Structure 1
Amino acid sequence: MSKRTELEATIDDLKPDVIGVTESWCNSTIMDSEAAFDNYVMFRLDKDSPSGRGGGVILYIHESLSAVACHEINNSNDFNSSVWCLIELERNEKLLVGLCYRSPNSTDQNNRKLLEQLEESAKVVNATHLLLIGDYNFSEINWKQGKVESGGDTDEAQKFFDTTQDLYLVQHVIKPTRNRGDYVKIKSHFKNVNWEEEFKDKTCNEAWNIFKEEYETTIQEHVPLKKKKSKKPPWLKSGVKRSIRKKYNMYQRYRKTQQYKDYEAYRKQSNITKRKVRRAQVDYEKKIMRDFKKKPKAFYSYVRAKQKVKTGVSQLENDQGDLTKTDKETADVLNSFFQSVFTQEPDGEPPTLADRKADIEELIGADFTLENVMKKLDKLKQDKSPGIDQVHANVLKECKEEMAVPLFMIFKKSLEEGCIPDDWKLARVSPIFKKG
């Protein structure tokens, strides 16, 4: 329920009659009062898991519509993540609404139960219309062209597509609803690689280069480039933006009419907007303070943005006494100074160090399993920037089961050979300018 505030603002803006939420992450510890919204009737199904993460669906129907749970389907099938209800329409007609979520890692048995549930929906007594919403994770289906493309779990996608056609269902959403990586296809690609064969008779460094090449190719195909958005204050949410827009429209109206009542309306809205802006700022600052331990970057980023005076690097004087003219020349001057503060070693062979004996046992081996690697990948922080190898933590975590296999083999080779891949020896060193 971490996105409840954002969802609430969206509901206030769009005022929809039917809302479907998949992956609600709700469990038995979250009460109905915490998940409910004013003026909406809620139908929820939680998926309590040992980790407390993932799963769960919630269906909201506006109270102006007469809606009841459809026990005919809810109680007749063991598909693990769906909820159904019936809405009374005019002329004794009824709309059957189903909200389903199919995980990308869904089992064959669960996939079969989903298809059976869809078939059951066509047999519900007195239901004259059917609205099916949710997230089914079948990116292989090209709804626009009406066919199933290769990649991913094609057999299951074909069965799902055939079932929707047999039931005469019409797909209304034909474009992706999120601009994010297609992790289903990324997982499928890495799962289908025979890593034993690829890494056979290869050194640790060669195995890493093979893995990196596969990674780069897959990312280019299945991860869209993100368009850079204009920077806006982090506290500027939809409700505040609407208030600012309303204030602007009222001011434009007053400029046209020059009437006192329009001026009063504008002044009143201006005061409301000021209060909302101040409240939004205070609420955001309280939030980043509460989350400081978990998200310190958000706090320091906000503090830096509030600085009135920002010191930058201006022109510098080079060895010839001339001022630099470009950013590159300035960077070269800084780099030269950065190198000058290190100890200058004489040319020739480096000095030989005497043997140093320490009372430490020799590391003969280190035992770790595939599960150990998977757990480490699951603990990665997804907001961290990638290193020189450009392997992003978010991809590693989302595809941990598939990524863990080649990485486990590379780690094993590294220990056996007593070396690490060349890429792991590289690092970015950036001199930081300090005023004074």
Structure 2
Amino acid sequence: MVTCSSSIEYQRPDTECDNVSKPGNLASLNFFNDAIKWDNIRARLSEVDWANELSYLEPDEMLNRIGNLCYETTREHVPYKKKFINVPVSKLIPRDRKNLIRKRNRKMQQLQKSKSHEKTTRILSELVEIEKKLISFLQKSGENDEYKAAGAIKRNPKYFYNYAKKFSSIKSAIGPLINHAGQLTANSAEMASLLADQYESVFSKPIRPIPSKPEPEPDDDTKPMLTDAAGPDRFPALLLKECKKQLAKPLFILWRASLDKGIVPADSKRANIIPIYKGDGRSLLKQYRPVALTFHITKVFEKVLRKYLVEFLNNHSLFNPGQHGFRTGRSCLSQLLIHHDRIINTLDNEWNVFRRTGNTSIENTLDKSEISKVHPFNVNI
């Protein structure tokens, strides 16, 4: 994973970008636990005097304060994640299965010392029964894990994909990459720096409009998707979804202050960049597409801002009729269909297709049945 910032602010991977403050350590809590009582969390968040807590603070301090208050409020109702780091494998095995393994080991020792044919036959028969029970335990355990992963695919898809990756024989890897000297390198720090240079070269400076709008009401269009991975802040999307009404006020205070002062919180401008291999040469930097994992809080603000900007542009008819990208109900497909329909109408009306559309390559747009319509007009394809 290459860690750097977004297009607003850039930071080298060899600096301390990984030390981004994670307010309240929300990443340590398991927000997908079924025993969580969200009503209690909402009630606690509603009791917080956000205006008083965030008064006289700079945007950076507000962001950290919101995270700390969310952690202090939720840790009483949300269990911590289980950690299996440096845990012996023997402690992860169920007691019934562990007893069968010990019994099998004892029988194996008895089998080696056995000199009687009858005793050997009896021990072998017992070993077969033990193996059958162990196989049955493994099958039930696998079925339970599979059922649990399938049940979590909608609410916690990350759990499902982690389970599915256990059975994958193909392991994705990055590099080795060609450095500036034209040599292959497999050093993680050097590859991170090379990818950072590649992504920095395509960064652009964004325009930051300052809208003048009242406090927005949270709705389904502004909440983050549950499948969205968290950024450096590790702020869970599920918490924003379940407590959107309670968190709307502090987020409004944060971004209103940010717009009024012209200051964007430094942490919110950082992102974890994940290089995704596109194909055709693993050593080429340009074959890795950057996917930025940004702050969920920043995503919510961007969605609210985009909602009002698009509404303003639509109400005043400022969009070009030919604009199809990033518009509701339109896409690249709709643009292609309109262009395709225009060409067919032109051919049906016996007009010059080149004069009307300026398209020099009809073969890429028309299928074979439609190409036959072009030949009567002395157009060579």
Range class of TM-score, shorter chain: 0.3 to 0.5
Higher relative contact order, chain-length normalized (CA < 8 Å, sep 6+): 2
TM-score when scaled to structure 2?
Answer: 0.43
More strand by share: 1
TM-score when scaled to structure 1?
Answer: 0.39
More helix by share: 2
